[in-house]
């Protein structure tokens, strides 16, 4: 039997989604337009410009894919790689490993470079593997590994890729809007992100951007991508410039309203100011976690301010603590993934969730529930 769904509000401080501000939620409720309506096309152009600001790029092909970040990943790999192409993928967590799976499904030859979980991508090892495999055409890695809370040196890795004649492909799902990211200055050729992390938009959209070099590679493919929906040669005709738009799919109009609003809020704040806010929030959280004797997993140099991986308290049921945080304090933090499952927490300070009042609420709730379980 039908009953209206009214969720109990939560403070979302896990690995995503983050809490969505009222301005963005209100944007969702505006009247729906047709996906080729002139008003909506104008909005599409504004979204492209706002995304270019967030990515710090002038790339013409900078758009939101009408699906979550996982589709952004597949869009990049599926359009840049064909069966038999060689790709180097750096793996230091769950999402690097997922890159490998996507590339293998395409039929690419994967040269995998593994770094221990909780550590940054090993640049020297990447260089060594590139020298051993000169036919490699793409270097792919995760800038901000959501499963471990680790930042990798995107600027150096992209420079290394360029020196070896490769395109660079970067996962920025958790980094966009949260830490320094400069697509043009760093020479990033293909990049994808998600709407639900530091942008504090609703889940379901994946911003992507492609350099001219990457677009040229896409246009020179010998075979069509296996997915029509993710074929950028078709998507470009819908999200293109001043020429007449060609129908490709029915865009999630209201979700794009929300993305427009969240990107507008980021532009109002200022990108560098947002990076600083996330760092200051991290420092506030770190001080409070130290008082609770909760230790970080990642070395300070490579920690993500927006995704804090910490050791769960030894001898306590970490899952029961997370459940009680949700039930007693309406607070969500994340469990560990993969190798960290069962003994780590991931505390997100992303976008709208990175505010002093949210951080203090999180710390007070942790103190309350941990003390209950320790007594």
CATH code for the domain of 27:
3.40.640.10
Supply the pTM of this predicted model: 0.97
Q: Is residue 5 part of a domain?
A: no
**According to the model, what pLDDT value does residue 1 have?**
87
Examine the domain organization and report whether 166 and 290 are in the same domain.
Answer: no
Is it the case that residue 76 has pLDDT exceeding 60? yes
First and final CA of the chain: distance in angstroms?
A: 43
User: Of 267, 298, 324, at which residue does a domain stop?
Assistant: 267
Q: Domain check: are 247 and 301 in the same one? A: no
Q: Is residue 72 part of a domain?
A: yes
| Whole-number average pLDDT of the chain | 97
Domain hosting residue 317, numbered range: 11-16+271-374
The pLDDT-based confidence of 243 (bands split at 50, 70, 90) is: low
Asked, for residue 6, whether it belongs to a domain, the answer is: no
Residue 310 half-sphere exposure toward CB, CA atoms < 13 A: 24
Whether residues 56 and 124 share a domain: the answer is yes
Residues 93-99: what's their mean pLDDT?
98
Domain boundary at 218, 244, 267, which? 267
Examine residue 1 and state whether it is found in any structural domain, yes or no.
no
Domain boundary pick from 267, 296, 331: 267
Query: What DSSP string describes 111-156?
Result: EEEE--TTS---HHHHHHHHHH-TTEEEEEEESEETTTTEE--HHH
Question: For 97-139, how does the pLDDT look when each residue is reduced to its tens digit (9 = 90+)?
Answer: 999 999 999 999 999 999 999 999 999 999 999 999 999 999 9
Query: Is position 177 within any domain?
Result: yes
CA atoms within 13 A on the CB side of 273: 6
- If asked whether residues 243 and 327 sit together in one domain, one would say no
CA atoms within 13 Å, Cβ hemisphere of 85: 22
Is residue 180 located within the same domain as residue 100? yes
Same domain, 35 and 138: yes
Starting at the earlier edge strand, list the strands of the sheet with 307-311: 307-311, 344-348, 334-335
Would the pLDDT of 242 be above 60? no
Q: Tell me if 363 sits within 8 A of 285, measured CB to CB.
A: yes
- Are the C-beta atoms of residues 144 and 179 closer than 8 Å to each other? yes
* Per-residue pLDDT at 22: 98
Q: What is the pLDDT of residues 318-364, one digit of tens each?
A: 999 999 999 999 999 999 999 999 999 999 999 999 999 999 999 99
**How many structural domains does the chain have?**
2
Residue 130 resides in a domain: yes
Q: Is residue 303 part of a domain?
A: yes
């Amino acid at each position: 039997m039908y009953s209206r769904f009214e969720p109990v509000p939560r403070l979302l401080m896990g690995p995503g989604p983050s809490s969505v501000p009222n301005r963005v939620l209100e944007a969702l409720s505006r009247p729906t337009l047709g996906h080729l309506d002139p008003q909506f096309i104008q909005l599409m152009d504004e979204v492209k410009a706002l995304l270019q600001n967030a990515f710090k790029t002038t790339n013409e092909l900078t758009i939101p894919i009408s699906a979550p970040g996982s589709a952004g990943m597949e869009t990049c790999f599926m359009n840049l790689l064909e069966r038999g192409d060689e790709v180097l993928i750096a793996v230091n967590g769950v999402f690097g490993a997922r890159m490998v799976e996507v590339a293998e499904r395409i039929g690419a030859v994967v040269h995998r470079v593994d770094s221990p979980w909780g550590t940054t991508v090993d640049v020297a090892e990447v260089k060594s593997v590139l020298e051993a495999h000169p036919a490699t055409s793409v270097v792919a890695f995760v800038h901000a590994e959501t499963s471990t809370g680790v930042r990798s040196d995107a600027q150096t890795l992209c420079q290394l890729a360029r020196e070896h004649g490769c395109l660079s492909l970067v996962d920025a799902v958790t980094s966009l809007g949260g830490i320094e990211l400069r697509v043009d200055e760093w020479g990033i050729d293909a990049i994808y992100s998600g709407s639900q992390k530091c942008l504090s938009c609703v889940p379901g959209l994946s911003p992507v951007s492609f350099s001219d070099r990457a677009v040229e590679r896409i246009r020179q493919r010998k075979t069509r991508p296996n997915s029509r929906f993710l074929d950028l040669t078709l998507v470009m005709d819908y999200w293109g410039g001043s020429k007449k738009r060609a129908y490709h799919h029915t865009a999630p109009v209201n979700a794009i309203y929300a993305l427009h609003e969240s990107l507008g809020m980021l532009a109002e704040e200022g990108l560098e100011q947002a990076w600083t806010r996330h760092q200051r929030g991290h420092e506030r959280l770190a001080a409070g976690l130290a008082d609770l004797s909760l230790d970080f997993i990642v070395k300070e140099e490579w920690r993500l301010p927006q995704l804090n991986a910490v050791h769960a308290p030894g001898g306590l049921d970490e899952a029961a603590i997370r459940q009680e945080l949700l039930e007693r304090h309406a607070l969500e933090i994340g469990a560990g993934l993969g190798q960290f499952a069962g003994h780590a927490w991931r505390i997100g300070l992303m976008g709208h969730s990175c505010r002093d009042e949210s951080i203090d609420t999180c710390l007070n709730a942790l103190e309350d529930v941990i003390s209950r379980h320790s007594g």
